[in-house]
Amino acid sequence: MKIKRIVDMTEIIDAKDPNWQKEDQWGAQDRDKLIKVDPYIYVPDRCLTEDITIWSHLGTHIEAPYHQYMFKGGKTIGEMPIDCFAGEGIVINMSYVGMEEDMDKIRERVERMGVSGKLLTEEDMKPLDKKIKKGDIVFFYTDFDIPDVPLIGATAAHWLVEKGVKCVGVAEQHIILSLGGHSALLENGIPIVTGMTNCDQVADKRLFLVAAPLRIVGLSATPGRVFAVEFEEK
Protein backbone atom coordinates (compact mmCIF):
# COMPACT_ATOMS: atom_id res chain seq x y z
CA MET A 1 0.00 0.00 0.00
CA LYS A 2 1.12 3.56 -0.73
CA ILE A 3 1.40 6.02 2.14
CA LYS A 4 -0.93 8.99 1.73
CA ARG A 5 0.40 11.03 4.66
CA ILE A 6 1.89 10.85 8.14
CA VAL A 7 0.24 12.95 10.85
CA ASP A 8 2.28 13.85 13.94
CA MET A 9 0.10 13.56 17.05
CA THR A 10 2.79 14.61 19.52
CA GLU A 11 2.74 17.75 21.67
CA ILE A 12 5.72 20.06 21.24
CA ILE A 13 8.00 20.30 24.29
CA ASP A 14 9.95 23.56 24.22
CA ALA A 15 11.76 24.31 27.47
CA LYS A 16 13.19 27.53 25.96
CA ASP A 17 9.74 29.05 25.44
CA PRO A 18 8.74 30.99 28.61
CA ASN A 19 5.06 30.56 27.72
CA TRP A 20 5.27 26.80 27.27
CA GLN A 21 3.52 24.62 29.85
CA LYS A 22 2.53 27.40 32.22
CA GLU A 23 -0.51 25.45 33.38
CA ASP A 24 -0.08 22.95 36.21
CA GLN A 25 0.82 19.35 35.44
CA TRP A 26 -0.59 16.59 37.60
CA GLY A 27 2.07 15.78 40.18
CA ALA A 28 4.81 18.08 38.87
CA GLN A 29 4.27 21.82 39.11
CA ASP A 30 7.96 22.84 39.24
CA ARG A 31 9.02 23.72 35.66
CA ASP A 32 12.60 22.51 36.23
CA LYS A 33 11.20 19.14 37.34
CA LEU A 34 9.11 18.91 34.18
CA ILE A 35 12.11 19.39 31.92
CA LYS A 36 15.58 20.89 32.22
CA VAL A 37 18.13 20.89 29.41
CA ASP A 38 21.79 21.67 30.19
CA PRO A 39 23.88 21.89 26.99
CA TYR A 40 27.67 21.59 26.97
CA ILE A 41 30.52 20.77 24.61
CA TYR A 42 31.66 17.15 24.80
CA VAL A 43 35.44 17.55 24.83
CA PRO A 44 36.59 14.37 23.00
CA ASP A 45 34.79 15.29 19.75
CA ARG A 46 34.14 19.01 20.47
CA CYS A 47 30.45 18.63 19.63
CA LEU A 48 27.35 19.81 21.45
CA THR A 49 25.55 17.44 23.80
CA GLU A 50 23.02 17.86 26.62
CA ASP A 51 22.16 16.58 30.07
CA ILE A 52 18.37 16.22 30.35
CA THR A 53 16.12 16.07 33.41
CA ILE A 54 12.57 15.18 32.40
CA TRP A 55 9.32 14.14 34.09
CA SER A 56 8.37 10.67 32.87
CA HIS A 57 4.75 11.74 32.27
CA LEU A 58 5.53 14.93 30.38
CA GLY A 59 3.61 15.94 27.27
CA THR A 60 2.50 13.15 24.95
CA HIS A 61 3.55 10.07 26.89
CA ILE A 62 2.96 6.34 27.20
CA GLU A 63 2.16 4.66 30.53
CA ALA A 64 2.96 1.04 31.33
CA PRO A 65 1.20 -1.32 33.79
CA TYR A 66 4.06 -0.66 36.24
CA HIS A 67 2.60 2.85 36.66
CA GLN A 68 -0.15 1.45 38.89
CA TYR A 69 0.85 -2.17 39.50
CA MET A 70 4.50 -1.86 40.47
CA PHE A 71 4.00 -4.28 43.37
CA LYS A 72 1.99 -6.82 41.37
CA GLY A 73 4.36 -7.65 38.54
CA GLY A 74 3.25 -4.90 36.17
CA LYS A 75 5.78 -4.44 33.37
CA THR A 76 7.84 -1.27 33.08
CA ILE A 77 7.80 0.66 29.82
CA GLY A 78 11.14 -0.79 28.74
CA GLU A 79 9.97 -4.37 29.31
CA MET A 80 6.93 -4.21 27.05
CA PRO A 81 7.21 -5.66 23.52
CA ILE A 82 7.30 -3.16 20.67
CA ASP A 83 4.16 -4.58 19.05
CA CYS A 84 2.15 -3.14 21.96
CA PHE A 85 2.88 0.32 20.58
CA ALA A 86 2.47 -0.02 16.81
CA GLY A 87 -0.23 -1.45 14.60
CA GLU A 88 -3.56 -1.01 12.94
CA GLY A 89 -6.08 1.16 14.71
CA ILE A 90 -8.55 4.01 14.72
CA VAL A 91 -9.03 7.49 16.20
CA ILE A 92 -12.58 8.06 17.49
CA ASN A 93 -14.49 11.24 18.34
CA MET A 94 -16.69 10.44 21.36
CA SER A 95 -18.59 13.74 21.29
CA TYR A 96 -21.79 11.88 20.46
CA VAL A 97 -22.13 10.95 24.14
CA GLY A 98 -23.22 14.53 24.91
CA MET A 99 -23.02 16.44 28.18
CA GLU A 100 -23.75 15.27 31.70
CA GLU A 101 -27.09 16.58 32.98
CA ASP A 102 -27.14 15.20 36.52
CA MET A 103 -25.78 18.00 38.75
CA ASP A 104 -25.04 15.68 41.66
CA LYS A 105 -22.84 13.54 39.42
CA ILE A 106 -21.16 16.67 38.07
CA ARG A 107 -20.34 17.92 41.58
CA GLU A 108 -18.93 14.52 42.55
CA ARG A 109 -16.64 14.40 39.49
CA VAL A 110 -15.46 17.96 39.89
CA GLU A 111 -14.52 17.13 43.47
CA ARG A 112 -12.77 13.85 42.64
CA MET A 113 -11.28 14.41 39.19
CA GLY A 114 -11.61 18.12 38.47
CA VAL A 115 -13.88 17.59 35.45
CA SER A 116 -17.64 17.64 34.97
CA GLY A 117 -18.26 15.54 31.86
CA LYS A 118 -20.29 12.38 31.45
CA LEU A 119 -18.94 9.09 32.80
CA LEU A 120 -18.89 6.75 29.82
CA THR A 121 -20.13 3.21 30.34
CA GLU A 122 -20.25 0.03 28.32
CA GLU A 123 -23.49 1.26 26.71
CA ASP A 124 -21.70 4.34 25.36
CA MET A 125 -19.11 2.09 23.70
CA LYS A 126 -21.50 -0.31 21.97
CA PRO A 127 -21.97 1.93 18.88
CA LEU A 128 -18.24 1.34 18.24
CA ASP A 129 -18.57 -2.45 18.11
CA LYS A 130 -18.02 -2.70 14.35
CA LYS A 131 -15.35 0.00 14.23
CA ILE A 132 -12.94 -1.50 16.77
CA LYS A 133 -11.20 -4.77 15.94
CA LYS A 134 -9.22 -7.23 18.04
CA GLY A 135 -5.59 -6.12 18.28
CA ASP A 136 -6.39 -2.47 17.52
CA ILE A 137 -4.74 0.61 18.93
CA VAL A 138 -7.61 2.99 19.77
CA PHE A 139 -7.30 6.72 20.44
CA PHE A 140 -10.18 8.83 21.77
CA TYR A 141 -10.92 12.55 21.68
CA THR A 142 -13.97 14.86 21.81
CA ASP A 143 -14.99 18.39 20.88
CA PHE A 144 -15.24 19.26 24.59
CA ASP A 145 -12.59 21.05 26.65
CA ILE A 146 -11.62 20.91 30.32
CA PRO A 147 -13.64 20.90 32.61
CA ASP A 148 -16.52 19.59 30.47
CA VAL A 149 -14.67 16.53 29.19
CA PRO A 150 -16.16 13.04 29.53
CA LEU A 151 -14.45 10.22 31.39
CA ILE A 152 -13.97 6.67 30.14
CA GLY A 153 -15.27 4.69 33.09
CA ALA A 154 -14.44 1.22 34.36
CA THR A 155 -17.18 -0.64 32.46
CA ALA A 156 -16.25 1.17 29.22
CA ALA A 157 -12.59 0.25 29.75
CA HIS A 158 -13.50 -3.39 30.44
CA TRP A 159 -15.49 -3.38 27.19
CA LEU A 160 -12.29 -2.35 25.39
CA VAL A 161 -10.37 -5.11 27.17
CA GLU A 162 -12.95 -7.66 26.05
CA LYS A 163 -12.70 -6.35 22.48
CA GLY A 164 -9.01 -7.28 22.63
CA VAL A 165 -7.46 -3.86 22.00
CA LYS A 166 -3.73 -3.66 22.69
CA CYS A 167 -3.26 0.07 23.41
CA VAL A 168 -5.62 2.94 24.34
CA GLY A 169 -5.00 6.67 24.01
CA VAL A 170 -6.86 9.74 25.30
CA ALA A 171 -6.41 13.38 24.31
CA GLU A 172 -6.46 14.59 27.90
CA GLN A 173 -7.63 18.15 27.24
CA HIS A 174 -10.75 16.65 25.62
CA ILE A 175 -11.38 13.27 27.28
CA ILE A 176 -9.81 11.44 30.23
CA LEU A 177 -9.81 8.04 31.88
CA SER A 178 -11.62 7.75 35.19
CA LEU A 179 -9.66 6.18 38.03
CA GLY A 180 -11.52 2.93 37.42
CA GLY A 181 -10.98 3.08 33.67
CA HIS A 182 -7.27 3.75 34.15
CA SER A 183 -6.96 0.76 36.48
CA ALA A 184 -8.97 -1.58 34.23
CA LEU A 185 -6.61 -1.04 31.30
CA LEU A 186 -3.31 -1.23 33.17
CA GLU A 187 -4.25 -4.29 35.22
CA ASN A 188 -4.91 -6.09 31.94
CA GLY A 189 -1.51 -5.14 30.54
CA ILE A 190 -2.81 -2.49 28.13
CA PRO A 191 -0.55 0.58 27.86
CA ILE A 192 -2.12 4.05 27.89
CA VAL A 193 -1.15 6.97 25.65
CA THR A 194 -2.09 10.45 26.81
CA GLY A 195 -1.82 13.99 25.50
CA MET A 196 -2.13 13.40 21.75
CA THR A 197 -2.84 16.25 19.33
CA ASN A 198 -4.30 16.53 15.79
CA CYS A 199 -6.82 13.77 16.46
CA ASP A 200 -9.43 15.49 14.29
CA GLN A 201 -7.14 15.21 11.26
CA VAL A 202 -7.31 11.41 11.22
CA ALA A 203 -10.63 10.63 12.88
CA ASP A 204 -12.77 7.66 11.91
CA LYS A 205 -10.26 6.11 9.50
CA ARG A 206 -8.37 2.85 9.54
CA LEU A 207 -4.76 3.82 10.23
CA PHE A 208 -1.37 2.49 11.22
CA LEU A 209 -0.75 4.07 14.64
CA VAL A 210 2.60 4.32 16.42
CA ALA A 211 3.23 5.40 20.04
CA ALA A 212 6.97 4.90 20.49
CA PRO A 213 8.27 5.15 24.08
CA LEU A 214 11.89 5.18 25.16
CA ARG A 215 13.07 1.66 25.98
CA ILE A 216 14.09 2.27 29.59
CA VAL A 217 13.56 -0.51 32.12
CA GLY A 218 12.32 0.67 35.52
CA LEU A 219 10.10 3.53 34.35
CA SER A 220 6.33 3.72 34.66
CA ALA A 221 6.11 5.94 31.58
CA THR A 222 8.13 7.96 29.09
CA PRO A 223 7.42 10.80 26.69
CA GLY A 224 7.12 9.40 23.19
CA ARG A 225 6.63 10.22 19.52
CA VAL A 226 3.07 9.42 18.49
CA PHE A 227 1.93 9.50 14.88
CA ALA A 228 -0.63 8.13 12.44
CA VAL A 229 0.12 6.70 9.00
CA GLU A 230 -2.72 7.01 6.51
CA PHE A 231 -2.63 4.90 3.37
CA GLU A 232 -4.08 5.53 -0.06
CA GLU A 233 -7.34 3.71 -0.64
CA LYS A 234 -7.21 0.99 -3.26
> 190-209: per-residue pLDDT in tens?
999 999 999 999 999 999 99
> 137-148: per-residue pLDDT in tens?
999 999 999 999
- Map out the domains of the chain with their CATH numbers: 3-12+56-231 (3.50.30.50)
Whether the bond between 223 and the residue before it is cis, its omega within 30 degrees of 0, is no
The mean pLDDT of 38-43, rounded to a whole number, is 93
Name the pLDDT band for 233 (thresholds 50, 70, 90).
confident
Q: Which of 30-34, 103-107, 156-160 has the lowest mean pLDDT?
A: 30-34
Burial 144-157 (b: 16+ CB within 10 A, else e): beeebbbbbbbbbb
- d(CA 136, CA 154) in angstroms, rounded, equals 19
Amino acid at site 140: F
Q: Count of CB atoms within 10 A of residue 19's CB? A: 6
Amino acid at site 206: R
